[in-house]
Amino acid sequence: MGNPFQQIATLWTEILPLLSEPARDLSDDDAFELMMYLVGTGDITLFDKLVNDKSGNITSHKPGVQTRIVPVIAGIPFLKARGSNPGPNGSLGATQQQYFAPTPAFAIVLYKLAKMLANDWGATQIVYGGIGAGGNANVTDCHSTGHCVDFYGANTKKGNFDVRQDWWMRPVYDSAGNLHASEGNGWTMDRSEKRNQDLLPAGNVA
């Protein structure tokens, strides 16, 4: 089992400082070390078997490389939204997948998101899109390279929230009280940008 005092010392001197760093500022090696720590605590589960060489070095997974993990992080299931869902609720029909493939650094972002929503909102489920896969197989973007996520909504003890129903479909007013321009039953890009500017959080989970 190892020396428990050494494990506590490692936690305080190495792991906790890394957890307090924004994931975007972590080196590839530090993000990988932190992800593997969370694998050890059971907060992240690898989809592919962990393989070590004779010296104990991990050979099956690499720093800075997308890693297939089970979409349950910190005990919170991540369900993938349907690719095409024209109804008023974008989270309807979301399903559990076998895995998604973030980079180790973005796995830390997803862990922090899950913990924040669980601790602050009592979240029991997160609906996502585009972790390790983009909308077009021929396009390489931040989704296909495992660096970003489309957040569709979450089920929480304070209510079930859906981005399309509770945010995208809502009217937006300018500073003069006039309804911001819209197109069809939702926002144009202009309205989306206006909404984003109004609702940017003071902090972030990255």
Contact 68, 58 (CB under 8 A): no
Which position has the higher pLDDT, 197 or 37?
37
CA-based angle 162:84:116, to the nearest 5?
Answer: 30
Instruction: Tell me the whole-structure pTM to 2 decimals.
Output: 0.80
Q: Across-strand partners of 79?
A: 96, 127
Q: Is the pLDDT of residue 186 over 60?
A: no
Looking at residue 5, its pLDDT comes to 42
SS3 assignment, position 190: helix
Q: For 29-51, what is the mean pLDDT?
A: 94
Q: Cα(127)–Cα(161) distance, rounded to whole angstroms?
A: 10
Q: Alpha-carbon distance 108 to 113, whole Å?
A: 9
Report the candidate in 128, 148, 129 with the shortest Cα–Cα distance to residue 140. Answer: 148
The arithmetic mean of pLDDT across residues 143-153, rounded, is 88
pLDDT band at 114 (very low <50, low <70, confident <90, very high): very high
Confidence of residue 20 (pLDDT cuts 50, 70, 90): confident
User: 12-26, 36-50, 138-152, 169-183 — which one is most confidently predicted on average?
Assistant: 36-50
What's the rounded mean pLDDT across residues 31-50? Answer: 94
